[in-house]
Structure 1
Amino acid sequence: MPNEAVRLFLFDFDQTLSVIHVFKSLAGWPKQVSLPKPHASSEPGQVLRVEELSRDVFIQEGGFPAMAFGGPERVQQMANLLQSLQDAGAELVICTKGFVGTAQICLGRLKLLQHFSQVYGHIGETYGASDFDKEAAVNFPPGLQSFLGEKRQAEWSSKDSLAKSLMRQKGLKSHEVVLVEDDYEDSDIYIGLI
């Protein structure tokens, strides 16, 4: 392998950037961080729920996102790491099986979103909708609209296919791309794995 720097890092979101599984916890799945009801399984519902939990339950600095990322000290460590990767000339992208909006609001509230050129994930009601989700879709606050994902951010079928597509678009070789992932089943990509 040539001695070339990694030029693209694809980061998973849940339990890779965050310390908890944000999607599953907000959706109320068993064996996750227990959050008060209502639970949310749609993108608008989860974005709204992050705001509500930050206002009503996790009222410390950074709110729910800070808790999900392990607290202010870990958030600062994450910011330092991401900045150092960018300073070395790498592009940073998120690819999550969770929602674009959930990742974007958490990262945005922690001032970490600025480090990523793109967030890829699911949008809308991919995993169904509770009564809370249905209400959130009808009465979604305009001030949170910018966090919701767009169709182009959900046009991928697997992390492997997205990585290959980005490599082609950017003219990169496999040794110039790394997937940072906590799930071994998503690590069958032929690119590097941390």
Structure 2
Amino acid sequence: MALVAAGIGGTAVAGFGLAFGRDIYKTTKKNVELIALLLAAAICPFVGGRGLVRGHDRGFLGTIFLTVLGSLLLIAAGLCAATLLMFGVLVLVTDDKLDSPFLLALLGAFVVTALLVGIGIVVGLVQRPKRLKTIAVGKFNERFLEENGFRETDGDDITHYDDCGQALRFLEAHPDRLVFMAVGRRGKRAFIDLDQDGRMVGYSGIK
């Protein structure tokens, strides 16, 4: 009988869970604000934590306002959203019988937000070396193009001019070089050689 009762109870619980899930779906479908709160509570702390440490190509003011303050604002927004959600759940579940549901909601939201921030920081630290390397290579290549007289255009037919004023059209990128077509010179190509890290190390001229 105990096993039979447990089986019936399990069926009842499963049925209740399905009904509860359908009710939540109907509610969220009609409630855009709830969806926005859920997304903010889940995403903002992670993005904020990751943004603090993953590495950016920003100056002093950009670091202060975007990296630090921007990330902290995202974390704060996530905390607020999580607090509102948990407060609403506590009020519904306990029928407003708790003495301090807001404080409990704030505590729970703080724990969840801290966990998401921690995950974001770990992900950011993992991404940081590759991002900083990419930023450094990008700056190196900008100097290479400037020192070698390359000028970039906004066009499609002509994308660059080299130091001799030759019009070039960028065609494709390979691991070891970038390929350009010499515009107006049939069958002629030009190449920028790359090292294994993607740094520009030489320009072939027109061939």
Structure richer in helix, relative to its length: 2
Which TM-score band applies after superposition, normalised by the shorter structure? under 0.3
TM-score after normalising by structure 1 = 0.19
Larger RCO (CA under 8 A, 6+ residues apart)? 1
What's the TM-score once normalised by structure 2's chain length?
Answer: 0.19
